[in-house]
Amino acid sequence: KLTLDFTQPGANVSPMLYGLMTEEINHSYDGGLYAELIRNRIFKDNKTKPEGWSLVQQDTASRASIKLIAADPDNVPFDERRHSINSALTTCLRLTVAKGGSRVGVANEGYWGIPVKPSTTYKASFYMKGTGSMQFPRRPGMPARPQNATPAPVIENNTAGPITVTIESNDGKTVYATGTITLEKSTFWKKYEVTLTTAANVEPTTDARFVISTDRTGLYYFNLVSLFPPTYNNRPNGNRIDLTQMMVDMKPKFLRFPGGNFLEGPDFANAFPWKTTLGPIDNRPGHKGSWGYRPTDGMGLYEFLMWCEEIGAEPVLGVYAGYSLNGDHVDAGPLLKPYVEDALDEIEYVTGDKSTYWGAKRAADGHPEPFKLTYVEIGNEDWFDRTNSYDGRFKQFREAIEKKYPQLTCISTITDTQNPDLKVTGKKPDVMDEHYYRNSWEMFANASQYDKYDRKSSKVFVGEWATREGAPTTNLHAALGDAAWMTGMERNSDLIIMSCYAPLFVNVNTATSTAPKAWQWDSDLIGYNALTAFGSPSYYVQKAFGEYLGNKIVPATAINIPTQNPPLSKRDSINGTKPAPVPVIFYSATQDDKTGMIYLKVVNASGKIQPVEINLKGLAKVDKKATIVVIKGAKPEDTNTISEPKKIVPATFAIKGIGTTFSQKLAPYSVNILQLKIQ
């Protein structure tokens, strides 16, 4: 029996309650949201060979090879030096065609395939040059060729002329789109651009590659090879349309970026390098990421901000706080000062007007208007540093930020409840970021945890959380755990001012003979391959919770809630509780005081139908008709996949006979959102 008490004033629902969290993990950007299709476009992501690249030789009569040429004066043979374009583009790919044939070229496999769609125009661009010898022409003042250098083979230079660019099947038999550039007779780099359009009747596929080819001898050099399909809002260097639309549909209030571990980086040198992520992609070297592959940084600080704008979300900016994943930290004091200055510069880039140094840079990058910013998070999960260096680091960052930007609120990553042994001393943080990765049973057991929090404590940002069941995306049981947990956050949203699920994205490709498995973290919200995307059951729960939300909490209580026993294997891991039964029903109610709509969310985590009696105490009259949105499935393991993307999706039903007391049967394993209207 559930009572919604309209005789008591409810607290306000936080206007920023539901948002998104993102970082470069699981190929979230490269091979994900960032629409670039070429893998390893600047040839720096290499283990033993140019990752993602291969030689194309149409007939056996030709003689050809490919080789990476990296700017390393100590290790590169004399003849292979001086191929850098700038300090970012220092490694290139050389195609040597000693004997031409019908077609010789270089192929890129994309991020687990190049997506081919009908009637689609792709923009290709690349730096290229062609020579007939490995020896670069000698310029006045250039050092003489060393006596002992191996003589450079001279190959006839036939490079000038047409170069073919194709999107084609991996066996080379079907060409989906083709274009041509004319390579100049010049030994210097030039950037070429060409568009490729597919026919209306092509079947969508990921079994495709991108090829640049010739039929002539010579040495061909390539760098920054790029291929973009249409992007959201047609923004250059922009985002995938389908994934952006899925976020827009969630109506998120904020986006927490750039991490997560991606903010901290594996070491000091590879913390998120926001300054080298700005400007033309030609100036972005990328860096060593935190999740085992090298991000291009095509998704740079400017692109994060444009992403926020495109989905209507406010940035929640994480600034690097001098602590990295290898455990190194910079102590508070003079050594930390440059890091604090760097964060102040970053905030100026986001919020400064055109009269400021960094505000002017942002304007030059294409966005004259400052972005709205309320929250800055200092670091990420600094409680991993058991020396508690965060106490001093947080203070130093916070004082400098609040002095220059008094309108900003700094978020602490050490929290009273999760890290009681590690305190942020001095002025109490306004907001603390708590992270929870749990299984469904732990979520059920802890769904009321915030009912008990001290209201005098700092406000809480649940900046990362997920029910971790199912891989790579979560299943229905996880979605039930999420929904149970979210009712607890929503009921307490006077305290929980923001929440975001993590990770947001996963490229679901498994390993192939040439590419590794795409993801590093199980249990993610939105899955995709190069061609299509799908929401997990958790995605639909997130979306529905954000969509159906009032601005006031309606105090609610329940009696006679049935319970169930967690399976034996899960009982030990249930946080803070002895192996004990957990409730099967979870609920929260909010009201929109402008429209009179009541949103009652009720979760049935059991495999049985649960009848609920609902009493709207203090209301004289409600509309007799209402609707109910139901997310449910037959089995807790049910899930969505690329091949079955819509197995678990919300369905909306009309319900009749509503009064100030009524009963509603809840389907097994279901999340239910009743929409009632006060009259």
What mask of x and - would describe binding to ligand AHR in positions 579 to 598, judged by CB under 6 A? --------------------
Write the DSSP string, 184-248. -S-SS-EEEEEEEE--TTPPPBS-EEEEEEESS-EEEEEEEEEEE---GGG-TT-B-HHHHHHHH
Interface with ligand AHR, residue 289, by CB under 6 A: no
CB of 255 to ligand AHR, least distance (A): 14
What mask of x and - would describe binding to ligand AHR in positions 90 to 109, judged by CB under 6 A? --------------------
Helix (H, G, I), strand (E, B) or coil at 663: strand
What mask of x and - would describe binding to ligand AHR in positions 487 to 516, judged by CB under 6 A? ---------------xx-------------
Give the nearer residue to ligand AHR in terms of CB position, either 380 or 389: 380
What mask of x and - would describe binding to ligand AHR in positions 42 to 81, judged by CB under 6 A? ----------------------------------------
CA 338/CA 282 separation, integer angstroms: 27
Residue choice 109, 297, 314, 381 for contact with ligand AHR (CB under 6 A): 381
CB of 300 to ligand AHR, least distance (A): 19
CB of 20 to ligand AHR, least distance (A): 12
CB of 449 to ligand AHR, least distance (A): 19
**Contacts with 60 (C-beta within 8 Å, 6 or more apart), sequence order:** none
What mask of x and - would describe binding to ligand AHR in positions 163 to 192, judged by CB under 6 A? ------------------------------
Give the nearer residue to ligand AHR in terms of CB position, either 441 or 521: 521
CB of 602 to ligand AHR, least distance (A): 29
CA 92/CA 51 separation, integer angstroms: 12
CB of 381 to ligand AHR, least distance (A): 5
Please choose, out of 54-62, 128-136, 255-263, 615-623, the segment that lies near ligand AHR by the rule CB under 6 A. Answer: 255-263
Give the nearer residue to ligand AHR in terms of CB position, either 398 or 468: 468
Give the nearer residue to ligand AHR in terms of CB position, either 436 or 599: 436
Please choose, out of 253-261, 317-325, 401-409, 639-647, the segment that lies near ligand AHR by the rule CB under 6 A. Answer: 253-261
CA 380/CA 398 separation, integer angstroms: 14
Residues contacting ligand AHR: total by CB under 6 A: 11
Which of 287, 244, 230 is closest to 28 using CA atoms?
244
What mask of x and - would describe binding to ligand AHR in positions 453 to 482, judged by CB under 6 A? -----------x------------------
Beta bridge partners of 409: 375
CA 287/CA 283 separation, integer angstroms: 12
Cα torsion through 453, 456, 461, 464, rounded to 10: -30
SS3 sequence, 441-509?
HHHHHHCCHHHHCCCCCCEEEEEEEEECCCCCECCHHHHHHHHHHHHHHHHCCCCEEEEEECCCEEECC
CA 672/CA 665 separation, integer angstroms: 10
Residue choice 485, 521, 540, 587 for contact with ligand AHR (CB under 6 A): 521
Structure tokens at 629: 């949105």
CA 178/CA 214 separation, integer angstroms: 13
Say if residues 237 and 283 touch (Cβ distance below 8 Å): no
Residue choice 14, 16, 17, 23 for contact with ligand AHR (CB under 6 A): 23
Longest CA pairwise span in the chain (Å): 99
- Counting every residue, how long is the chain? 679
**Contacts with 226 (C-beta within 8 Å, 6 or more apart), sequence order:** 36, 38, 41, 123, 124, 125, 126, 281
Residue choice 26, 125, 244, 261 for contact with ligand AHR (CB under 6 A): 261
Which of 535, 491, 511, 551 is closest to 646 using CA atoms?
535
CA 384/CA 387 separation, integer angstroms: 9
Interface with ligand AHR, residue 380, by CB under 6 A: yes
> At residue 264, what are phi and psi to the nearest 5 degrees?
-70, -35
Please choose, out of 64-72, 241-249, 259-267, 354-362, the segment that lies near ligand AHR by the rule CB under 6 A. Answer: 259-267
CB of 253 to ligand AHR, least distance (A): 20
CB of 25 to ligand AHR, least distance (A): 6
Say if residues 154 and 132 touch (Cβ distance below 8 Å): yes
Interface with ligand AHR, residue 523, by CB under 6 A: no
Give the nearer residue to ligand AHR in terms of CB position, either 289 or 633: 289
Residue choice 238, 260, 285, 550 for contact with ligand AHR (CB under 6 A): 260
CB of 518 to ligand AHR, least distance (A): 15
CB of 263 to ligand AHR, least distance (A): 8
Give the nearer residue to ligand AHR in terms of CB position, either 502 or 549: 502
Residues that bind ligand AHR (CB under 6 A): 23, 25, 259-261, 380-381, 464, 502-503, 521
